[in-house]
């Protein structure tokens, strides 16, 4: 090894050491939680943690008719132990996710079981006597499906699907789905916001580069100021502005333009207005960067060669700022996929995005499996869309200027 | 030397919170005006009497929140929580709460019959009732059918987000009498009927989540009628000089309970607070604040008659009202919440 390669190597090593804290930071706060989320989406240990013997015993059941008496005994032993530790509710909740009404079967059974196990009880006849559900195959099939430790139950639920007793996949509800609709709605709203943002950002960015430096920096502050304000504050401010007796409606009624207040809040309109306002700077800045890179004399040259304003824009100007538009559009689109608080404050029940349902399942119903599955679906869908976009547009056509 | 002592004092002051991992009793209630009133009547006098520290937090309900608190183990900071009826039943079954030892708060006999249970003692008796602005609607709505009638009473309506009570209200609006509501809801057709009725009103519904919102929505004119905790209505009238009216027929009577979170390190202080709040002379001050009912039998005699007439527990207000069936919601809350979310999102 000669002198130069070893110097080069030590420079590289030093460089790596410098970014090591960043790598560790990303690993700890980004990749590890992400992996944890993906794991939660397929992990299914609620039932096995409360009823370990039952889960073990039901492995040997072939899934038809009723299981062997040994499985009944295992249920009785597990539930008597759960009665002592008051953990039966966890198993009851998991089975209730699968088949509603099983919560009450489990809790009613636990209530009527004795405090201690006595040998010699014929649980295969005792349990159905306590609750007739134990004498039917449905509850056993539900237990078999929920035995874990891994399952596709939550991921299927995130697509409004479930497995029927035969193991084939079918729609979870007869009255239509929820999460597929919400996913489609999330993408539609994100796409609409992106289009509006780009349409508004183009003239705004052009104004910023074409005015004098004094006005331009003032406009820049106006543009950036909202970025420094909390999203919550901005969303709440829009509530004040848009409500029935808010600023806009009062103004329009007072000057006689409208007789009845417009419905601007608790619907799609409110969500679109506020999201556009919040995300507009992310569209303006990359477009501005791209516009700065276009030499001014090129448009003049196009003009002098006989191209009209439209031809100049479409043949000379637009192709050069396209990377900026792509970058801005992608930023706005991906950011708006994750908005939670703005639609919550300004939208109706039909305008909530997927993050609302992730939060709902995390904090309200605490169905972490489903929340993780929904998060994974959103992540995967975003990656897929990003990949498709790169495929079509090309990565070199996205530039932050 | 002096410097060293200062430094040592500083270090000690910084270190103490770390060493003293034992935190102070934390009481969790429903926030806003409601918790302000509880502070005046219960929490502050308790602090004055016992000289013990007491922290407060607030929440908007949901058994899932309690589950995640219980799962958090040592990092759970809640001790005494006011919960709704089905949260009490589900949480008690799932072992989220301590099983109460009646000896530590003077027994359960002092409470109204049937209101104390394994894990909870009654905290508050209230109704969810319809309110409207008497200044805007002169001849006001009388029933749930009127609440649904957007032609006779134009304007939006506000209901609490979630299936609980809304399904009951929808059935009453559809002509089911109060005493037949749960009988009807027990059948799949009854649930379908309730959702179909909610469908009619859906374009005009603004959903509320926290107890402060209904009075804000009504006050700003955003909605013409709203459901609300009955006590918030006279409180808003008094605070903001409004003329909001309550419709008692068809209101739903609820009992909230105090529970102690499982494994709470402050259960002794929590028991002391439960004991304090259960004293008749303390309870008797409660209705004057927000027009909610008292849950201690001996306190009822101490409530002035003219005040008692405004309470959800007054016989004339109870007539035609419906008591929440916690058993129904324990069995069905998961499934109906999911169905409700799917329905509301369409």
From B62, B95, B222, residue closest to A244, measured CB to CB = B222
Determine the distance from the C-alpha atom of residue B139 to the mean position of all C-alpha atoms in its chain, rounded to a whole number: 30
* Residue A126 CB contacts under 8 Å (≥ 6 apart), including other chains: A72, A76
Q: What is the pLDDT of residue A225?
A: 85
| Chain B residues touching residue A86 (CB < 8 angstroms) | 93-95
Q: Which residues pair with B25 in a beta bridge?
A: B54
CA distance B68 to B78: 11
Identify the band that residue B16 occupies on the pLDDT scale cut at 50, 70 and 90. Answer: very low
pLDDT in tens, A339-384: 989 999 999 888 999 999 999 888 877 888 999 999 999 999 889 9
pLDDT in tens, B123-135: 999 999 999 999 9
Cβ count within 10 A of residue B308: 18
pLDDT in tens, A180-231: 999 999 999 999 999 999 999 999 999 998 887 888 889 888 888 888 889 8
Tracing tokens 């543009």 back to the chain, one arrives at: A223
* Residue B15 CB contacts under 8 Å (≥ 6 apart), including other chains: none
pLDDT in tens, B222-253: 999 999 999 999 889 988 899 999 999 999 99
CA distance B208 to B206: 7
Distance from CA of B263 to the nearest CA of A (A): 13
Three-state SS for A105?
helix
CA distance A334 to A336: 6
B258 membership: H or E segment, kind and range: strand B244-260
CA distance B38 to B46: 11
Statement: residue A401 has pLDDT above 60: no
Tell me whether residues A244 and B93 touch, CB distance under 8 A. Answer: no
Structure tokens, A217: 């920096």
Identify the band that residue A10 occupies on the pLDDT scale cut at 50, 70 and 90. Answer: confident
Residue of A91, A98, A103 to mutate, interface with B, max B Cβ within 10 Å: A103
Residue of A108, A244, A368 to mutate, interface with B, max B Cβ within 10 Å: A244
Nearest residue of B to residue A83, measured between CA atoms: B93
Q: How many CA atoms lie within 13 A of B181 on its CB side?
A: 26
Model pTM score: 0.81
CA torsion sign, A247 to A250 to A255 to A259? positive
CA distance B116 to B122: 6
CA torsion sign, A45 to A49 to A55 to A57? positive
Tell me whether residues A364 and B221 touch, CB distance under 8 A. Answer: no
**Following CA atoms A274, A275, A278, A282 in sequence, which dihedral angle do they give, to the nearest 10 degrees?**
-150
A177 touches B: beta carbon within 8 Å = yes
Nearest residue of A to residue B192, measured between CA atoms: A175
**Dihedrals φ, ψ of B8, to 5°?**
-60, -40
**DSSP category for residue B255:** E
CA distance B288 to B307: 7
Distance from CA of A392 to the nearest CA of B (A): 33
Contact A315, A302 (CB under 8 A): yes
Identify the band that residue A303 occupies on the pLDDT scale cut at 50, 70 and 90. Answer: confident
Whole-angstrom Cα Rg for chain B: 22
**Following CA atoms B58, B60, B66, B67 in sequence, which dihedral angle do they give, to the nearest 10 degrees?**
-140
CA distance A38 to A154: 11
Structure tokens, A394: 């090309």
* Residue A44 CB contacts under 8 Å (≥ 6 apart), including other chains: A94, A146, A148, A149, A150, A151, A153, A154, A369
Distance from CA of A38 to the nearest CA of B (A): 19
Which among A143, A108, A147 has a CA at the least distance from the CA of A129?
Answer: A108
Contact B339, A178 (CB under 8 A): no
Which among B249, B252, B230 has a CA at the least distance from the CA of B143?
Answer: B249
Mean pLDDT of A244-249: 89
Structure tokens, A139: 């509850």
Q: What is the pLDDT of residue B1?
A: 43
CA distance A95 to A143: 7
Of residues B56 and B235, which shows the higher confidence score?
Answer: B56
Tracing tokens 């390190």 back to the chain, one arrives at: B265
Tell me whether residues B342 and A175 touch, CB distance under 8 A. Answer: yes
Tell me whether residues B345 and A367 touch, CB distance under 8 A. Answer: no
Tracing tokens 């608190």 back to the chain, one arrives at: B69
Q: What is the pLDDT of residue B4?
A: 47
Three-state SS for B137?
coil
Structure tokens, B304: 């002035």
Burial (0-12, 13-18, 19+ Cβ within 10 Å), A252: middle
From A86, A350, A364, residue closest to B64, measured CB to CB = A364
Least confident of A39-53, A111-125, A217-231, A291-305: A111-125
Tracing tokens 């993050």 back to the chain, one arrives at: A355
Tell me whether residues B94 and A176 touch, CB distance under 8 A. Answer: no
Distance from CA of A357 to the nearest CA of B (A): 9
Identify the band that residue A3 occupies on the pLDDT scale cut at 50, 70 and 90. Answer: low
CA distance A215 to A154: 54
Structure tokens, B294: 């008292």
Nearest residue of A to residue B159, measured between CA atoms: A349
Q: What is the pLDDT of residue A171?
A: 85
Identify the band that residue B257 occupies on the pLDDT scale cut at 50, 70 and 90. Answer: very high
B318 touches A: beta carbon within 8 Å = no
B150 touches A: beta carbon within 8 Å = no
Cβ count within 10 A of residue A393: 15
Nearest residue of A to residue B335, measured between CA atoms: A100
Structure tokens, B82: 């006011």
CA distance B166 to B207: 11
pLDDT in tens, B179-221: 999 999 999 999 999 999 999 999 999 999 888 899 999 998 8
Give residues 185 to 214 of A whose Cβ lies within 8 Å of B.
none
pLDDT in tens, A24-61: 999 999 999 999 999 999 999 999 999 999 999 999 89
Structure tokens, A154: 């939550």
**DSSP category for residue A228:** G
Q: Where are the alpha helices (DSSP H) in A211-317?
A: 213-224, 231-242, 247-254, 268-292, 296-304, 309-311
Q: Is the peptide bond before A149 cis (omega within 30 degrees of 0)?
A: yes
Q: Where are the alpha helices (DSSP H) in A132-267?
A: 137-145, 153-158, 179-210, 213-224, 231-242, 247-254
Mean pLDDT of A59-84: 90
Q: What is the pLDDT of residue A39?
A: 95
A243 touches B: beta carbon within 8 Å = yes
| Chain A residues touching residue B338 (CB < 8 angstroms) | 178
Statement: residue B5 has pLDDT above 90: no
Structure tokens, A187: 């993408």
Q: What is the pLDDT of residue B135?
A: 92
CB pairs under 8 A between A and B: 87
Mean pLDDT of A254-282: 91
Structure tokens, B83: 């919960």
Structure tokens, A366: 């605490």
């Amino acid at each position: 090894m000669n002198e130069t390669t070893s110097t080069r190597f030590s420079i590289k090593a030093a460089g790596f050491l410098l970014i090591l804290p960043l790598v560790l930071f990303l690993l700890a706060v980004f990749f590890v939680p992400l992996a944890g989320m993906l794991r939660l989406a397929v992990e299914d240990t609620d039932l096995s943690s409360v009823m370990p013997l039952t889960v073990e015993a039901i492995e040997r059941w072939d899934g038809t008719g009723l299981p062997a008496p040994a499985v009944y005994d295992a249920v009785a032993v597990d539930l008597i132990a759960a009665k002592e530790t008051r953990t039966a509710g966890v198993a009851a909740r998991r089975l209730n996710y699968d088949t509603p009404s099983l919560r009450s079967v489990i809790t009613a059974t636990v209530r009527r079981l004795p405090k201690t196990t006595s040998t010699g009880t014929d649980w295969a006849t005792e349990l159905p006597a306590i609750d007739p559900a134990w004498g039917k195959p449905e509850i056993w099939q539900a237990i078999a499906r929920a035995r874990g430790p891994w399952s596709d139950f939550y991921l299927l639920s995130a697509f409004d699907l479930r497995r029927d007793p035969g193991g084939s996949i079918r729609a979870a509800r007869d009255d239509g789905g929820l999460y597929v609709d919400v996913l489609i709605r999330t993408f539609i709203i994100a796409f609409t916001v992106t289009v509006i943002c780009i349409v508004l950002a183009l003239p705004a960015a052009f104004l910023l580069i074409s005015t004098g430096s004094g006005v331009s920096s003032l406009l820049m502050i106006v543009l950036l100021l909202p970025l420094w304000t909390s999203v919550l504050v901005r969303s709440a401010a829009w509530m004040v502005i848009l409500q029935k007796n808010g600023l806009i409606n009062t103004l329009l009624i007072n000057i006689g333009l409208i007789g009845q207040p417009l419905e601007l809040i608790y619907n799609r309109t409110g969500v679109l207005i506020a999201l556009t306002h919040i995300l507009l700077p992310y569209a303006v800045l990359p477009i501005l960067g791209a516009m700065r890179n276009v030499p001014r004399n090129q448009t003049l040259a196009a003009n002098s060669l006989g191209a009209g304003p439209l031809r100049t824009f479409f043949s000379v100007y637009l192709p050069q700022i396209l990377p900026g538009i792509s970058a801005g559009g992608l930023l706005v689109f991906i950011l708006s996929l994750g908005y939670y608080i703005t639609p919550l404050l300004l939208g109706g029940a039909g305008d909530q995005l997927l993050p609302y349902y992730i939060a709902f399942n995390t904090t309200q119903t605490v169905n972490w499996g489903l929340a993780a599955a929904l998060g994974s679906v959103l992540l995967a869908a975003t990656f897929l869309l990003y990949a498709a976009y790169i495929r079509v547009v090309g990565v070199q056509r996205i530039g932050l200027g | 030397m002096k410097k060293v002592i200062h430094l040592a004092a500083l270090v000690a002051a910084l270190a103490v919170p770390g060493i003293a991992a034992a935190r102070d009793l934390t009481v969790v209630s429903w926030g806003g005006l409601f918790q302000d009133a509880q502070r005046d009547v219960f929490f502050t006098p308790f602090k004055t009497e016992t000289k013990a520290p007491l922290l407060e937090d607030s929440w908007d309900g949901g058994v899932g929140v309690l589950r995640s608190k219980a799962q958090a183990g040592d990092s759970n900071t809640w001790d005494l929580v006011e919960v709704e009826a089905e949260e009490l039943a589900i949480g008690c079954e799932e072992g989220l709460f301590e099983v109460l030892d009646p000896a530590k708060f003077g027994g359960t006999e002092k409470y109204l019959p049937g209101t104390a249970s394994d894990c909870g003692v009654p905290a508050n008796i209230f109704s969810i009732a319809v309110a409207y602005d008497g200044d805007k609607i002169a001849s006001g709505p009388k029933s749930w059918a009127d609440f649904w009638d957007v032609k006779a009473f134009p304007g939006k309506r506000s209901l609490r987000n979630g299936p609980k009570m809304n399904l009951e209200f929808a059935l009453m609006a559809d002509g089911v009498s109060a005493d037949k509501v749960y009988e009807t809801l027990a059948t799949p057709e009854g649930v379908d009927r309730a959702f179909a009725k909610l469908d009619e009103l859906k374009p005009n519904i603004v959903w509320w989540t926290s107890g402060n919102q209904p009075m804000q929505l009504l006050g700003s004119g955003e909605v013409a009628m709203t459901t609300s905790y009955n006590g918030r209505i006279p409180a808003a009238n008094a605070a903001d000089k409004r003329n909001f009216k309550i419709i008692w027929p068809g209101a739903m009577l609820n009992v909230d309970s105090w529970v102690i979170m499982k494994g709470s390190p402050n259960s002794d202080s929590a028991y002391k607070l439960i004991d304090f709040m259960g004293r008749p002379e303390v309870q008797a001050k409660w209705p004057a604040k927000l027009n909610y009912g008292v849950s201690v039998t001996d306190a009822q005699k101490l409530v002035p008659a003219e005040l008692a007439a405004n309470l959800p527990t007054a016989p004339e207000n109870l007539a035609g009202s419906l008591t929440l069936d916690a058993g129904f919601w324990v069995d069905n809350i998961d499934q109906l919440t999911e169905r409700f979310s799917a329905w509301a999102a369409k």
